[in-house]
Amino acid sequence: MELLVYETSETFTEDLVDFKVTPKNKKIAVIRAGFFGLISLAALEEAGGFNPVCFEKTDKPGGTWCYREKPEDGVGSTMPSTIINHSKELGALSTFPPKKESNNFMRHHEIYEYIMDYATSKGVLKYIRYKMEVLKVK
Ligand SMILES: Cc1cc2nc3c(=O)[nH]c(=O)nc-3n(C[C@H](O)[C@H](O)[C@H](O)COP(=O)(O)OP(=O)(O)OC[C@H]3O[C@@H](n4cnc5c(N)ncnc54)[C@H](O)[C@@H]3O)c2cc1C
């Protein structure tokens, strides 16, 4: 598999097949460091034996829940007033309960904190390569 990624002004390809596919060093590309990209990285970390690399086109993780004062083209973002539409009990990861002091319907910054606490506790932020937009997978 070959990934075409865009880094600032340069375009280059990263070859992912040149790695020997064994359970101990399988290289896995995770595209996008939103909430689900971070969960995917955590699942790979937990399973062990993988060598993940996550490509994120902005300079921050968290996707939609990373509040941006200036909207970025093609990136969803919350507004200052955004509150999630489900309770924290209903929407939380079963293995990572939200803080007791968080609002039941969390504010966008509480969700972001929750996501970041999760990613930090799993030690997966180190796998993210920022300002790398995936343009094509073949
Ligand atoms: C304003 C708003 C309010 C919302 N409210 C709720 C809610 O109340 N409840 C609910 O359940 N859901 C809500 N959502 C849905 C929200 O999308 C999900 O909760 C969740 O954030 C989706 O996570 P994700 O990881 O799939 O994608 P995202 O959070 O969208 O993250 C995608 C990431 O991928 C990056 N990216 C995109 N394209 C590329 C590329 N080609 N190469 C590299 N990186 C790339 C982006 O920069 C971004 O960081 C809301 C969405 C918005 C926009």
The boundaries of the domain holding residue 89 are 26-129
Specify if 118 maps to a domain: yes
Specify if 13 maps to a domain: no
pLDDT of residue 26: 82
**CATH number of domain containing 59:** 3.50.50.60
HEC string of the chain?
CEEEEEECCEEEEEECCCCCCCCCCEEEEEECCCHHHHHHHHHHHHHCCEEEEEECCCCCCCHHHCCCCCCCCCCCCCCCCCECCCCHHHHCECCECCCCCCCCCCEHHHHHHHHHHHHHHHCCHHHEECCEEEEEEC
Dig out the tokens for 75 from the structure: 């990136």
Q: What is the pLDDT of residues 83-102, one digit of tens each?
A: 999 999 898 999 999 999 99
Residue of minimum CA distance from atom 5 in ligand 1:
84
Specify if 97 maps to a domain: yes
Q: What is the pLDDT of residues 8-20, one digit of tens each?
A: 434 445 555 444 4
pTM recorded for the entire structure: 0.86
Å from CA of 51 to ligand 1 middle: 24
Asked whether the predicted pLDDT for residue 55 surpasses 90, the reply is yes
Asked whether the predicted pLDDT for residue 134 surpasses 70, the reply is yes
Closest alpha carbon to 28 in 36, 46, 12, 40: 40
Mutate to test the pocket of ligand 1, among 64, 112, 115 (most ligand atoms within 8 A of CB): 64
Q: What is the mean pLDDT of residues 28-54?
A: 94
Specify if 10 maps to a domain: no
Å from CA of 9 to ligand 1 middle: 25
Specify if 95 maps to a domain: yes
112 lines ligand 1 (CB under 6 A): no
Neighbours of 39 (CB within 10 A): 18
Q: What is the mean pLDDT of residues 65-73?
A: 91
Asked whether the predicted pLDDT for residue 39 surpasses 70, the reply is yes
Specify if 15 maps to a domain: no
Specify if 19 maps to a domain: no
Specify if 64 maps to a domain: yes
pLDDT of residue 20: 45
> 23: pLDDT confidence band, cut at 50, 70 and 90?
low
Closest-lying ligand 1 atom to the alpha carbon of residue 83: 8
Strands of the sheet containing 26-31, edge to edge, are 26-31, 50-55, 128-129
pLDDT of residue 48: 87
% of the chain beyond a pLDDT of 70: 83
Residue of minimum CA distance from atom 21 in ligand 1:
64
Quote the mean pLDDT of the chain.
Answer: 87
Which CA distances in Å does 74 have to 57, 77, 109?
A: 10, 10, 21
Compare 40 and 76 and report the one with higher pLDDT.
40
Number of domains making up the chain:
1
Dig out the tokens for 131 from the structure: 């300002």
Closest-lying ligand 1 atom to the alpha carbon of residue 39: 25
